[in-house]
Chains A and B, each alone.
Chain A
Amino acid sequence: MRLTALIGRDLRLAYRRRGELATPVIFFVIVTALFPLALNPDPALLRTLAPGVIWVAALLAVLIGQDSLFKTDYEDGSLELMLLSPMTLEWIVILRVFTHWLVTGLPLVILSLLMALLLDFPTHALGTLVMSLFLGTPILSCLGAVGASLTVGLRRGLMLLPILVLPLTVPVLIFGAAAAGRAAVGDPVAAPLYFLGAMLMLSVTLAPFAIAAGLRISLES
């Protein structure tokens, strides 16, 4: 009951400031479109680079999106009420990360199909690309949320967030881009996808504790 109320509130708020939440998605599209301009529009080259380009752009877009995760609730004081509520803070934050992923991560996963076509990524591998992003972007959301919880009280938070979180995202990037890249050349993709799944389980179960602890520290000061 309280869970649905929380999810409903987050989704309603997200709908009312949809322009702000669209920013990471637009960022993703533009960054992906910059690569052919900077490199070379040769389809053969773009095809080999496509998994890496899409994955790096998705990684940066998710991180940029995490800035808005706790900011408004921190500024208007709702976060302090959540801290005082009888519900466990860990539950509240994982729900928040989930709804935030629904409105910023999921559109990105869907749009990656379009960007893959623009980069001449082979159509038979599209399913694996989407699957890898579907498993990988929630991990990025969890890691980004840890960074966001620690920097929410800082004015330079947005600058600091990538420095804190990017080194931690390396495994996701490696396995995600490897899955898509292997699918494109017809290699088996089970291993990297399984690793992504395992890391997703690990981050969904462990990250809430770190996020909650980070929020408590940020709110105490």
Chain B
Amino acid sequence: MFVWFHKLASPPFFYRFAEKLAPWLGWLSLLVILAGLYGGLWLSPPDYQQGDGFRIIYVHVPSAWISMFAYMLMAAAAAIGLIWRMKLAHAVSAAAAPLGASFTLLALVTGSLWGKPMWGTYWVWDARLTSELILLFLYLGYIALNHAFEDRRTGDRASAILAIVGAVNVPIIHFSVTWWNTLHQGPTVFFGPKAEMPPSMYIPLFIMMFGFMLFFAAFMLKRLQVEVLQRERNTAWVRELVEQS
């Protein structure tokens, strides 16, 4: 098990592993997302207050969730890359950043489309919206620093520090922004006697979250393959790979 794990950190082995795994995850995510959409758009009842408008949560909540998950993944991989000098860990951070930024943008856009009919405005300076916006800025700063250096390795290590400093700051930012202003609806209780959602509403939501996770994993692997190829472009195995194809 550990031997296999250790091997996974070697770029050529990982490249072939991702080549096999990514299509499986990709097609599976398509199936799961289609199932979740069917459950969310046809099977679940309209909300008693928000009507059909609430259905945007089937995209909004999974994207917001992944936007935060991707940042934590990026920061954790950055720390691993800095401490153990693992090349693949830096590639994980670099690949997670643009994906995470895209999901952050998706969460912001779907939230603002939902906000227009529900709150009467596309944007309010509410705590969660503002935190999400700042998260987007953090991603953009990371990407900008990662690409600013001529030497890829320096860029990786410098942006790793920024990612870690950002991860320490994220709770403080979230707390300060909540203290400052809050309007977003509170967290919804899913289970137990106080459940605010029937199973026909939350089961599709969980299916969608699972589908988005699979989608994220599949695209992570594809992006990682590209990152690995770019970083290893002067090595023998990449040259072999290019000649074969």
Instruction: Encode contact with A along B112-148: 1 for CB under 8 Å, 0 otherwise.
Output: 0000000000000000000000100110110011001
Shortest Cβ distance from B135 into chain A, in angstroms?
Answer: 8
* Residues of chain B lying within 8 A (CB to CB) of residue A201: none
Shortest Cβ distance from A48 into chain B, in angstroms?
Answer: 16
Is the Cβ of A167 less than 8 Å from the Cβ of B138? yes
Residue B162 is within 8 A (CB to CB) of chain A in the complex: yes
Is the Cβ of B144 less than 8 Å from the Cβ of A163? yes
Stretch in B40-48, B149-157, B215-223 touching the partner: B149-157
* Residues of chain B lying within 8 A (CB to CB) of residue A156: 148
Shortest Cβ distance from A128 into chain B, in angstroms?
Answer: 18
Residue B111 is within 8 A (CB to CB) of chain A in the complex: no
Is the Cβ of A160 less than 8 Å from the Cβ of B144? yes
Is the Cβ of A164 less than 8 Å from the Cβ of B161? no
Docked CA distance A167–B168 (Å):
13
Interface size class of B (residues with CB under 8 A): 20 to 34
Q: Tally A residues with Cβ within 8 Å of B.
A: 29
Residue B35 is within 8 A (CB to CB) of chain A in the complex: no
Q: Which residue of B lies closest to A198 (CB)?
A: B172
Point out which of B165, B168, B180 has the most chain A C-beta atoms below 10 A from its C-beta. Answer: B165
Shortest Cβ distance from B203 into chain A, in angstroms?
Answer: 36
Is the Cβ of A164 less than 8 Å from the Cβ of B180? no
Within 8 A of B (CB), among A111-161: 146-147, 150-151, 153-154, 156, 160
Shortest Cβ distance from B191 into chain A, in angstroms?
Answer: 33
- Additional pairs, 20, CB under 8 Å, beyond known A163-B141, A164-B145: A146-B161, A150-B159, A153-B149, A154-B149, A160-B144, A160-B145, A163-B137, A163-B140, A165-B141, A166-B137, A168-B138, A168-B166, A171-B175, A171-B177, A174-B180, A178-B180, A210-B165, A218-B158, A220-B154, A221-B154
In the A-B complex, list the 6 residue pairs whose CB atoms are closest, starting with the nearest.
Answer: A171-B176, A167-B137, A221-B154, A164-B141, A150-B158, A217-B157
Which residues of A are in contact with B by a Cβ distance under 8 Å? Answer: 146-147, 150-151, 153-154, 156, 160, 163-168, 170-171, 174-175, 178, 195, 199, 206, 210, 213-214, 217-218, 220-221
